[in-house]
Amino acid sequence: MNKPESQKPNNRKIQTEEHRQQKKSKYTAVPGDSLLRGIRRDKISRSTKQRVRIGCFPGATIEDMKYYIKSTLKRKPDHVILHISRNNCLANSAAEVTAGIATLCDEITQDQPDAHITISELITREDKQNAKAKICEINDEALKQFVNKIVRSVCYLITILMIRL
């Protein structure tokens, strides 16, 4: 018993509606270095029900990412997950690396003030012990700097609220 053409579901309409819904959904951008290679954005998009764009830039330093991220920000992401600075870790001090990350975050905030920014912790490698120690130092420095920045911001807001009361 075959259904007449008029009673068959139109899969094209269903796919188009799903596409429209996905266009309205949130958009997450994940720019970073070569460690992002091979990550399946389609599976992440499907499981999170939002658009995800992964930008893999092998060998990119923080300075390079300032250039690469411009095209990503034109798409107005709701969330930016940065996986950067691994290519800076041996050439720069922990303070220089975290300052570069902070500068990049400020530039993202200036361009997209409503975007949430997440900074991925650097992944250590077991095959290079000198790099492992430096990466751990950078992760610790970044955690201190960004937590202190958040605490200062919260204290500033509390002070403003107390003055107004």
pLDDT tens digit sequence for 81-130: 888 877 888 788 888 888 888 899 899 999 999 898 888 887 776 777 77
Residue with tokens 């658009």: 51
Arch. (CATH architecture) of 12-121+129-164: 3-Layer(aba) Sandwich (3.40)
pTM listed for this prediction: 0.69
Going from N- to C-terminal start, the domains of the chain cover 12-121+129-164
Backbone angle region of 98, left / alpha / beta, with phi > 0 → left and psi within -120 to 50 → alpha: alpha
Give the up-direction half-sphere exposure of residue 32: CA atoms within 13 A in the CB hemisphere.
Answer: 22
